[in-house]
Amino acid sequence: MGTQTIKNILVSFRNIAVVGISAKPERPSNKVAKYLIEQGYTVYPVNPGLEEVFGLPCYPSLSSIPPEMSKKIEIVNIFRKSADVPPIVDEAIDIGAKVIWMQSGITNEEAANKARNSGLLVVENHCIAVEHQLLFH
DSSP assignment of the chain, as one string? --HHHHHHHHHH--EEEEET--S-TTSHHHHHHHHHHHTT-EEEEE-TT-SEETTEE-BSSGGGS-HHHHTT--EEEE-S-GGGHHHHHHHHHHHT-SEEEEPTT---HHHHHHHHHTT-EEE-S--HHHHHHHHH-
State pLDDT tens for residues 39-60.
999 999 999 999 999 999 999 9
In this structure, are residues 50 and 58 in contact, taking their beta carbons and an 8 Å threshold? yes
The distance from CA 13 to its chain's CA centroid, rounded to whole angstroms, is 11
126: domain CATH number is 3.40.50.720
Name the phi and psi angles at 65, rounded to 5.
-75, 130
pLDDT at 2 over 90: no
Q: Which domain holds residue 97?
A: 3-136
Which pLDDT tens digit goes with each residue over 82-123? 999 999 999 999 999 999 999 999 999 999 999 999 999 999
Total domain count, the chain: 1
Using the predicted structure, report yes or no on whether residue 1 has a pLDDT greater than 80: no
Task: Please report, for residues 5, 26, 131, the alpha-carbon distance to residue 88 in angstroms, rounded to integers and kept in the order given.
Answer: 22, 24, 22
